[in-house]
Amino acid sequence: MKYLLIIFLCVTIFYTAQINAKVIHVKDGDTVVVLLEDNIQKTLRLAEVDCPESGQPFGKNAKEFTSTQIFGKQITFIATDEDRYGRTIAKIYYENKYLSEEIIRAGFGWWYYQYSKDKNLGILQKQAEDKKIGLWQDKNAVSPWDYRKQQRAVSQF
């Protein structure tokens, strides 16, 4: 009986952690704004993926890809954390797909391995690299975290 109660609580927690929302704005490849059921807007930063910044090659392509996948659609998300800017870090699901996985598979983002344990995402990234899909067409592609570091160094001078 004790184990049934524990299983019930785990299942309940899992399903209550899933939130339904409508995507009303795509800021960039890995940041979207959703409208919750109570008409509150929330900014979500995608978990486990980092897309090129808007000033980087393929930044606009990443934004466009994310837009074509989820803009105006109902999604389900699971909040995993909050970043230093107050954005909710979330795993976004739509049409039985995991958005971060689809972005990496299409070659429009890097597996954010520093914040992810899902090695399957690394495999998908390697496959995209090998096929030269999306940003991997650029043999000198710079990861967003290195790009941001370079920009901070330049701005200090």
Q: Is 139 left (phi over 0), alpha (psi -120 to 50) or beta?
A: alpha
Looking at 87, 101, 102, 105, which residue is catalytic? Answer: 87
- CA–CA separation, 119 and 131 (whole Å): 19
| C-alpha pair distances (Å), 93 with each of 20, 53, 59 | 10, 22, 22
Active site residue 64: no
Active site residue 53: yes
**Which of 63, 75, 71, 89 minimizes the C-alpha distance to 36?**
75
Looking at 48, 53, 101, 102, which residue is catalytic? Answer: 53
- CA–CA separation, 131 and 136 (whole Å): 8
Q: Is 117 helix (H, G, I), strand (E, B) or coil?
A: coil
Active site residue 152: no
Helix (H) or strand (E) holding 18: strand 18-28
Residues with catalytic roles? 45, 53, 87
